[in-house]
């Protein structure tokens, strides 16, 4: 018998079975999914890379600390 794959919710660290019974995977719930989305929108998460200047808006905002 094969054991189902279990992953950890990135937001609350709860164990989640990976499968159709977990529609919000890798999150345990819609709430955890929205918390993560809010963190990306607030720029609390960032993908590492070179800082690029956006010529259109570069003078409008202070530099980000990532």
Tell me, yes or no, if the pTM score tops 0.85.
no
Please give the class, per CATH, of domain 6-41: alpha beta
Three-class SS of residue 31? helix
**Pairing between β-strand 15-17 and β-strand 6-8 as defined by DSSP bridges:** antiparallel
The helix/strand/coil state of 10 is coil
| The predicted structure's pLDDT at residue 56 | 66
Delimit the domains of the chain by residue range: 6-41
Bigger pLDDT: 22 vs 65: 22
Binding site, annotated residues for Zn(2+): 9, 12, 28, 32
Write out pLDDT tens, residues 2-58. Answer: 788 999 999 999 999 999 999 999 999 999 999 999 999 998 988 888 876 666 665
The tokens for 11 are: 């937001």
Annotated binding site: 9, 12, 28, 32
């Amino acid at each position: 018998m094969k054991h189902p794959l279990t992953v950890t919710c990135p937001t609350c660290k709860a164990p989640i079975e990976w499968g159709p019974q977990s529609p919000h995977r890798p999150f345990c719930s819609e709430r955890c999914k929205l918390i993560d989305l809010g963190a990306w929108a607030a720029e609390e998460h960032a993908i590492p890379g070179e800082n690029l200047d956006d010529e259109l808006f570069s003078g409008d905002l202070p530099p980000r600390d990532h």
